Chain A
Amino acid sequence: MQPAPASLDPDVLARLQGLQVQVQRVVDGVLGGLHRSARRGASTEFADHKEYAPGDDLRHLDWRVLGRLDRLVVKRYEDETELEALVAVDLSGSMGYASGRFSKAAYASLLAASLASLLLRQGDGVGLLVLGGSQPAEIAPAARPEHLGELVAALEAARPHGPTRLGAAAARYAERARRRGMLALFSDLFDPDPEVLTGLQLLAARGHEVLVFQVLDPDELELPFDEPSLFESMEDERRLLVSPREIRAAYLEELGRFLEGTRRALAEHGLSYELCRTDEPPHQPLLRRLAARRVERP
């Protein structure tokens, strides 16, 4: 993995006004990363043409069409045919936690919008599902480039709030999805409902590609506090007075079990999983996931 440019540092990105601008930076970072990495395992079965867009691999430029029609078109192969993708962002109360400039919700929104932008660039239809939050939203997939603006607006309008209902949402989507597609879920997965996993597994069983980005804050991963603290739930009224030092080891052990269990359960059903820390450059989880996707689907 190439080191991240300074402009992709979360602190720098957070200072940029507007999710759209941030998305552009992240997409640029992803595309730059993809161009630098070796392309391996790409399918060679031609499917159709599409108009050239910045970021498309020039090696797939159809020179014949260019010579005959003076149009820039690129060849698309079987694995690059249009698909219908749904980007789901968890904006429940727990996603509002922030130890740095980015809350988990903001970080997840940025990742989701960046992924949507990448998909739209290659002509895929992208929809949005905002789970929980102050303004839950559901936007049907569309492949228009300007569709990104709608998605970004919906994400910007929502604020993290209330409990999580990931399980129900996943099950509902699994039932409604008519054709094979892709679901990218951005969440901390702190929803205790076991149906979350069931719904995602159902989607995978029906041939959907499911990408799970688990977004966590460094505080949650390290519990770095020393002084006695009164911890308060961000979704309900639960509180706990405790000295973090005394339970840090047990907490980290418990969290480690949870993360490992989640990763293992998703992997067993062919679901992709990526752990994202809100203090790492946002393009990196996307790059890791996209690079892994190429390896998994030669």
Chain B
Amino acid sequence: MSALTFLRPELLWALPLAALPVIIHLIHRHRARRRPFAAIDFLLRVQRRTARRILLRQLLLLLIRTALVVCLVLAAAGPRLQPPAAQAGLGPLTSALVLDASFSMRARDGERTRFAAALDQAREHVRGLGPQDRACLVLAGRTPRVLIEPCTDSRAALLDALDALQPEHGRSDLSAAMALAAGLLPPAPAGRRRLVVLTDAAAHAFPGPVAWPGEAPPEVEIRDVAPGEGRDNHAVVGVEAEPGGEQLSLLVRLQHTGARPSADQALEVRLAGASTRGFASLEPGQTLVKRFSLQPPAAGEAPGPSQGEVALQPDRLAEDDTRPFLAVGRRGFRALLVNGDMRAVLHQDELFYLERALAPDSGAGIQLRSLTPDRLRPETLDGVQVVFLANVRDLAPEARQALASFVEAGGGLFLACGDQLDPQRADEWLSELVPWPVRDVVALGPADADGVHRQGLGFGEWDASHPVLRPLGLDGGRALEAVRTFRAAILEPGRAGPEVRVLMRYADGTPALVEGRRRAGRVLLLTTTLDRDWTHWPARASFLPFLQRAAAHLAGRLEELPEIEVEVGETASLPLLPEAGGLRVRRPDGGLRVLRAAPGAGQVAFGETDLPGVYALEQLAPGDGAPLRARAAAALLVHPPRAETDLTLASLDQLRTGVGETTRLELGGGAQEGGRAQAWLLLLLALALVALEAVLIRR
């Protein structure tokens, strides 16, 4: 004999409503209208003749109406006929409960999530266990977890375990979870074995055939906790930010799955306190791309991209209707210019061209301060990201020390040569900073007949992959080749630092631009001048972007960290700056994780992506793990699994193919596969009762 259970047993409290027809009947009798009537003889005669039939008819009507209310209440409560926990002669039942904890189980049907509905059904199953029955518990999350093992007859233990469960944010592999759970059941033929899977039965949850342990798979009952009509879902499945010009272009990808269109859904993009709104209409199965143009985030000193959010009108699965994104805005920084050769005539000043190239109105977003070498103090470096030493002869020891500390902490230093630079003295005070000591100053190019080097040399080769020079090589290098330099410092052979890179050379091979590192800091050495004393470059168009990019590079503003986006549960490869020794990750729940790596490792793996949201990343210096000064911080975006946004119900064929021929699928909303009577039968019965009542009333 089967047992009757209910999906929403709390609705059974409405059963006393079945007394309503009787109460209404009694009230009507009590309130019968008094009516003096002359032909009462006929009424009495008729009543005597028909009293029994009328009484029978009234009783029948009351019975029908009472049964009608009972049917409706039972149908609303979601009845299910289940095989009994124990049947005489067949022995006790051992059941393994598998709870789907995937992201899609967070969908809400009314006030309750599907995971909560699954928990209720699990509790109901546990409470319905017979005294000899046992059960165990498996949570189908990112990786299936056994919660109760071995199978127990302790209802309290099972219920306590259920009370502690929460849905996860990732995918679940129900096939793997079912195989794991089947392994907890006693081997056949030791009594009756049943696997009860509580899930939304979405097609994506059954990726493949179940690898059943043993020879005989258990009886499988898949209970769909989602209502029949609850399969429509729209989601934001992608956001791409394309910086360009004055506007930030945002491509938003929307997806809709289900059976009915999703019309006129409000869509909002929020970024840096501003928002833009729109609407989207999606057909079932459609992926739609909407483009938004936004004002890029305002320039600021804080490193890292700005976080924005796309929000689609919430539906039953609201957590995939918002999606964060990162937008890189223009970020300014401070540069300190040290003038080693100040002149009264403006255009002859050492900083004349430099200041104009980096001026705030140039669009570079750089705040400049200029001073002479004797005024350089440790405190003048506060808040500064880049220091330019232009043709500086010497610095006070205190200033030298401060500058060295500045660079080691991640500051950027640009050294330019000139006639003030004394190679002998420079070897003393610059030795701690310069990547490659200066040996001498030489003339470039062939000398004319009078011995004057008027022809100079152009740049012969350059590292086009370097972020500073990449745009300058776009025209095939003609702009750089056209530059003529007449004098340059030459570097001490054999004394190059360990991480020195020659980024540019003159046509004769002499280094023109050298990059070195000093712990977390970067140093660029230009072997010629920043004014027109030794080179014509300041008068060329390529000089301005070169200086702007060089300054931004030294300030860490040119790092083009790849956009890191993964789905919940995936391992992310987080990029490391060459000078970084690790990463600090701040999770969406506030938790901090520190990831160590050898300098130059390039990337580090991070697998704790169990929560969707923005994971803030901070590059750490090797050794003490201090945050790298002025280095851009990136962020990791973790999104809900896209597959989980498709709530489409698995077909019975898919289940029977993947799970087994004996699989029984109980659909949500009252219907049931397999021909067992459920709510729809009760509704049919209710309809029949209504028809019968109508016939009785007419007679």
Contact = CB atoms under 8 A, between A and B. Distances in A.
Nearest to A235: B38
Nearest to A249: B699
> A231, A234, A250, A258 — which one has the most chain B CB atoms within 10 A of its CB?
A231
Interface stretch (B27-35, B225-233, B603-611, B637-645): B27-35
A224 to B, nearest CB: 12
B47 A247 contact: yes
B38 A220 contact: yes
A146 interface: no
B37 A232 contact: yes
Contact of B43 (A94, A96, A188, A231): A231
Contact of A104 (B34, B38, B45, B54): B38
B38 A232 contact: no
A228 B32 contact: yes
A198 interface: no
Interface residues of A, number: 33
Given A228-B29, A247-B47, A255 B39 contact: yes
Given A228-B32, A241-B32, A254 B37 contact: no
Contacts of A227: 28, 32-33
A94 B37 CA distance: 8
A228 B40 contact: no
Nearest to A228: B32
A240 B58 CA distance: 16
A97 interface: yes
Nearest to B50: A250
A178 B38 CA distance: 35
Given A246-B54, A251-B43, A231 B29 contact: no
B49 interface: yes
B42 interface: yes
B586 interface: no
20 contacts: A93-B38, A94-B38, A95-B38, A97-B38, A104-B38, A220-B38, A228-B28, A231-B40, A234-B36, A234-B37, A238-B40, A242-B47, A242-B54, A243-B54, A247-B43, A247-B46, A247-B54, A250-B50, A254-B42, A255-B39
B156 interface: no
B146 to A, nearest CB: 66
Nearest to A92: B38
Nearest to A241: B32
Contact of A229 (B35, B38, B46, B50): B35
Interface of B: 28-29, 31-47, 49-50, 54, 57-58
> B33, B43, B45, B54 — which one has the most chain A CB atoms within 10 A of its CB?
B43
Nearest to B46: A250
Given A241-B29, A247-B47, A250-B50, A231 B42 contact: no
**Chain A facing B: main interface SS:** mixed
Contacts of B40: 231-234, 238, 240
Contacts of A104: 38
B47 A220 contact: no
Contacts of B54: 242-243, 246-247
A46 interface: no
Interface in A182-221: 188, 190, 192, 217, 219-220
Interface of A: 93-97, 104, 188, 190, 192, 217, 219-220, 225, 227-234, 238, 240-243, 246-247, 250-251, 254-255, 258
Given A241-B32, A247-B43, 13 more contacts: A96-B38, A97-B36, A190-B41, A192-B41, A228-B29, A229-B35, A230-B35, A232-B34, A233-B40, A242-B54, A243-B54, A246-B50, A247-B46
Please list the 6 inter-chain residue pairs (A to B) with the smallest Cβ-Cβ separation, ordered nearest first.
A94-B38, A97-B38, A228-B32, A250-B46, A231-B37, A220-B39
Contacts of A243: 54
A238 B38 CA distance: 11
A231 B41 contact: no
A190 B34 contact: no
Nearest to A188: B38
B38 A240 contact: no
Contact of A230 (B32, B45, B46, B50): B32
B45 to A, nearest CB: 6
A95 B46 CA distance: 21
Contacts of A238: 40, 44
B37 A97 contact: yes
B35 A242 contact: no
B42 A229 contact: no
Contacts of A230: 32-35
Contacts of A233: 36-37, 40
Given A242-B47, A251-B43, A251-B46, A190 B38 contact: yes
A71 B31 CA distance: 70
A20 B54 CA distance: 48
A44 to B, nearest CB: 46
Contact of B39 (A190, A242, A246): A190
A227 to B, nearest CB: 6
A190 B40 CA distance: 10
B274 to A, nearest CB: 67
Nearest to B33: A229
Nearest to A104: B38
Contacts of A246: 50, 54, 57-58
Contact of A232 (B35, B46, B49, B50): B35
Contacts of A231: 35-37, 40, 43
Contacts of A234: 36-38, 40
B504 to A, nearest CB: 105
A246 B49 CA distance: 12
Nearest to A245: B697
A240 B32 contact: no
